Amino acid sequence: MHNPEHPYKIIVMGGSAGSFSVVSGILSKLNPNFKIPILLSLHRLKHVRSGLSEGLSLNSKIKVLEPNDKEKIEPNRVYLAPSNYHMFIEIDGSIALSTEESHNHSRPSIDYTLMSAAYVYREKALGILLTGANKDGAKGLKSIADHRGYTIVQDPVTCDIDTMPKSALQLFCPDEILSPTEIVQFLNSLQP
């Protein structure tokens, strides 16, 4: 179980195919006063600029927004990587957006967001990898583990497409393998 001596300062959740309904379900069941900022890196259509954040906002008890470049990360917020942008965390706790080349055929790249969280927050980072159809996110989640952060992989049997979580499981052993319901219970246990 997580170490209460090291409360997490950031949560990065990544997913691809099938992840919208999982993320929507998680956000709908989180405590409304959940303070730890959540960064979402979800594979999405490049040329569809809106709809995803609005869809997630419908059931979320926490404000969901697409950040601007250099926006400071605030508590009790969910930051969704904008369409066709990589989302990084800067050392000063702000968000950097980039249009660098696609990584694993994806922009935003889950790996990039997770790796930047690992670098900035080290053992205070919590990474969660959800259902998806490619390997993006596996190396990034391992980077969180390598920096002594906490790692959760969605149980492949609960995934629409299990390529993404299985890719992580082939690389390393995460701290937890949980169903979406168990992920919600875990997150809500992090604070009173």
Among this protein's residues, is 47 annotated catalytic? no
pLDDT computed for residue 97 by the predictor: 97
pLDDT computed for residue 10 by the predictor: 98
Let me know if residue 5 belongs to a domain: no
Among this protein's residues, is 28 annotated catalytic? no
Catalytic residue among 16, 19, 41, 109: 16
pLDDT computed for residue 71 by the predictor: 97
Among this protein's residues, is 16 annotated catalytic? yes
Region 66-74 average pLDDT = 97
Catalytic residue among 19, 83, 111, 136: 136
Let me know if residue 3 belongs to a domain: no
Q: What percent of the chain has pLDDT over 70?
A: 92
Let me know if residue 2 belongs to a domain: no
Region 118-136 average pLDDT = 96
Let me know if residue 94 belongs to a domain: yes
Q: 168-184, pLDDT tens digit by residue?
A: 999 999 999 999 999 99
State both tokens at 134: 């490619």
- Parent domain of 79: 10-188
Instruction: Tell whether the model's pLDDT for residue 4 goes beyond 70.
Output: no
Let me know if residue 29 belongs to a domain: yes
Q: 9-60, pLDDT tens digit by residue?
A: 999 999 998 899 999 999 999 999 999 999 999 987 665 556 778 888 888 9
How many alpha carbons fall within 13 Å on the CB side of residue 169?
15
Catalytic residue among 19, 41, 43, 162: 43
Region 108-135 average pLDDT = 96
Q: 98-107, pLDDT tens digit by residue?
A: 987 877 767 8
pLDDT computed for residue 18 by the predictor: 84
Region 110-139 average pLDDT = 96
Let me know if residue 1 belongs to a domain: no
- For the chain, strand residue ranges (E) read 10-15, 38-42, 63-65, 77-80, 86-89, 95-98, 125-129, 150-154, 176-178
Let me know if residue 124 belongs to a domain: yes
- CATH number for 87: 3.40.50.180
Domain count, the chain: 1
CA–CA distance, 17 with 60 (Å, rounded to integer):
20
Let me know if residue 118 belongs to a domain: yes
